[in-house]
Amino acid sequence: MSVLGWRALLVFALLAALPLVPGMSRYYLLLAFDALLFGAIAMSLDLLMGYTGLVSFGHAAFYGLGAYATAILMERGVQSVWACVGFAVVVVGLYALVVSYFATARRGIYFALLTLIFAEVVYTFFRYTQTFGGSDGIQGLPDATVLPGLVIDTPTRKYYLVLAYLLIAYAICRVVVASHFGRVLVAIRENEDRARFLGYNVPRYKMGACMISALLTGVGGAIYPMRSAFATPDLMLWTESGEFIISVMIGGLGTLVGPIIGGAFFTILRDKVSSIVDWYFIVIGGVLIVIVLFMPRGLLGLRRIFSRRAAA
């Protein structure tokens, strides 16, 4: 309770009631799954972008590796959510350890480029390795199980799975940003040299932020095949990383809640606009330009407008 606050719990309670809304179709529950998953991953990235000042162009690799971890186990008959998530944590953790070790030793564009290069290597490996299905990936996966007999086989159950993930990820992020560790991250974002002069082991802190962000993203990736029944190399493409960054920008940097809204907004906007026009990315690009130019604090920046009006 103290971690989340009653307002956050109220929002999660409302989200939990979503499947009960009259007229809620199975498709919209799956869309809600995508929206919350995308939002949760954008929030994980916000820990790095918004709080530490590090822009990662390689988060798709963490996401895709998590998805492949689940797919590889499921293909071999392991359907337990816990086993898949555990395996994903190990796989993504090992990869993130290597990436963060090298990338956090660099700043700015060099950090971004290193994360991108590592991600492209991973993408290429899975794209051309036939053991993991090559370009087709691993398809036709069975439904996951939470407990013996409790199968994640309906859109409603899948929705609650991703909601549980979002709740846990949000709680972890809240604890991190409220902690001393989180405050040091903000100090690094504001002035890395000063943080170093104050005696903080800056690379270690950056590496820690990178690991937490990567692991949360990897767990999100591990959940994705439980909804889609496949994992393909496309999940690791740099464009996917770009969409995570766009979601953070749309929602509002350094707010945690903003990227959740941004990710959900991006997913729903993409779904709706792409059903109307083929060139939907132009529309999404236009929205992004408007937000960057006129709402630099993202959708969550709207609260300032509301606050001012309320004060007036």
List residues near other proteins by CB under 8 A.
5, 7-8, 10-11, 14-15, 18, 21-28, 30-32, 34-35, 127-128, 134-137, 139-140, 155, 228-230, 232, 234-235, 255, 257, 261, 264-265, 268, 271-272, 274-275, 278-280, 299-300, 302-304, 306-307, 310
Q: Compute the least distance from the CB of residue 299 to other proteins, in Å.
A: 7
Choose between 32 and 207: whose C-beta lies nearer to other proteins.
32
Q: Compute the least distance from the CB of residue 290 to other proteins, in Å.
A: 17
Do residues 132 and 126 make contact, with C-beta atoms less than 8 angstroms apart?
A: yes
**Angle of CA points 71, 74, 80, to nearest 5°:** 115
Q: Which residues contact 66 (CB under 8 A, 6 or more apart)?
A: 88, 91, 92, 217, 218, 219, 220, 221, 222, 223, 224
The interaxial angle of helices 59-75 and 238-251, nearest 10 deg, is 120
Secondary structure class of 25 (helix, strand, coil) = coil
Best CA proximity match to 281, nearest among 242, 308, 309, 252:
242
Choose between 77 and 140: whose C-beta lies nearer to other proteins.
140
Q: Compute the least distance from the CB of residue 275 to other proteins, in Å.
A: 6
d(CA 145, CA 127): 28
Q: Compute the least distance from the CB of residue 307 to other proteins, in Å.
A: 5
Secondary structure class of 80 (helix, strand, coil) = strand
Q: Compute the least distance from the CB of residue 187 to other proteins, in Å.
A: 21
**Angle of CA points 211, 213, 214, to nearest 5°:** 65
Q: Compute the least distance from the CB of residue 306 to other proteins, in Å.
A: 5
Question: CA separation (Å) from 117 to 57, 124, 191, 229, 240?
Answer: 9, 11, 26, 28, 14
Would you give the distance in Å from CA 107 to the centre of its chain? Answer: 22
Choose between 210 and 235: whose C-beta lies nearer to other proteins.
235
Q: Compute the least distance from the CB of residue 192 to other proteins, in Å.
A: 27
Do residues 126 and 236 make contact, with C-beta atoms less than 8 angstroms apart?
A: yes
